[in-house]
Amino acid sequence: MTSTVETLAWRDDALHVLDQLLLPAQIQYVVCRTQEQVADTIRRMQIRGAPAIGVAAAFGMALAVKTWEGPAGQELSEHWMRCRRLLADTRPTAVNLFWALDRMQKLYDRVSGQDLEKIREATLTVAQKIYRDDVEANRTMGRNGAALVPDPARILTHCNAGALATAGYGTALGVIRAAAESGKNVHVWVSETRPYLQGARLTAWEMDQEQIPYTVIADNMAGTLMRQGKVDLVIVGADRITAKGDVANKIGTYQLAVLCHYHHIPLYVAAPLSTFDRSISQPEQIVIEERPAEELSKMAGVTITPAKAQVYNPSFDVTPHALVSAIVSPVGVLYPPYDRSITRAFDKQALLEGSPSQEV
């Protein structure tokens, strides 16, 4: 965001997390001084969005070492693994969480034999680098994806894939931001995104911050808008992308993809490479998180369903790769066949990074 509001920030030896449960009414931060507090903010969705969760988890592991009062060695390693499991168990679908934990693990494996202060310094350094890299990747993605946006453009987006879902700037909203910054005339259709209303509460708030024209719509209005010729493209973020390009994203994305296919409207996905899970090739392999029934059966604390109503509340769905027009990544725009273009993207990233560097 170009405003001074940050999704998360490391200050005064603590992770400060913007409480997204209170937006747009209040801007308030949760101060996390322990890994347990970081895990709680992720579990409660005070921080959400796959890239942001990954960054927060990295800082959570840095806090796990910072707050350790025992000696370095085996006891610290056992503590480290307990903290890793704690954070890994918060939300199962967003692969960025596990990517960040794996990256912190590789760092810890290299420095675990050093003294405690050096381990603390190293873990915090890498967590801060993960934060900076995410912001830079999002800005690069925005520039890459802006070329896909016509001028003028009526863009429909779902959930929140903006600065609030990342360390800064955003994925899908990053593309929209970059298009607007380049001078293109864009208008954004913001789907409310039931049941958590990430669109109505968060994406609309971000559009206000950036002064980008937008209109909030009910989720079930998308098809009518498309039939009326009022949508030029749909762009969304992602929580996990398979090796073949199948996309797990906020529940409701799949039906938008089907509608786009029927109405011949492109559906674009914007995601950093940390969102790709090349270890799986089938959509059925993605674990879909189910959220508490109360998130669907209540609205603003008021029960809106019969007391005995059964509730099914999956947080994500999977869009088959055949319905995805292109994937915007930090190393370029990927097109079908995705198994090939995704492989090329990682090869290109490896060349850009050169030989593996020591991060301490």
DSSP string, 291-306: --THHHHEETTEE-S-
pLDDT value, residue 250: 98
Question: Residue 4's pLDDT is what?
Answer: 57
**Catalytic residue annotation:** 239
If you classify domain 8-139 with CATH, what class do you get? mainly alpha
Residue 287 half-sphere exposure toward CB, CA atoms < 13 A: 10
Which residues, including other chains, have CB under 8 Å from residue 136's CB and lie 6 or more apart?
A: none
Which sequence spans correspond to the domains of the chain? Answer: 8-139, 143-353
Provide the angle, in degrees to the nearest 10, between the axes of the packed helices 74-88 and 95-111. Answer: 170
Q: Which of these CATH numbers, 2.60.40.1840, 1.10.1740.10, 3.40.50.10470, 3.40.718.10, describes 143-353?
A: 3.40.50.10470
Find the radius of gyration of the CA atoms of the chain. Answer: 20
Regions of the chain short of the pLDDT cut 50: 1-2, 355-360
Q: Are 327 and 271 in contact, with CB atoms under 8 Å apart? A: yes
- 288-346 per-position pLDDT tens digit: 999 999 999 998 889 999 999 999 999 999 999 999 999 999 999 999 999 999 999 99
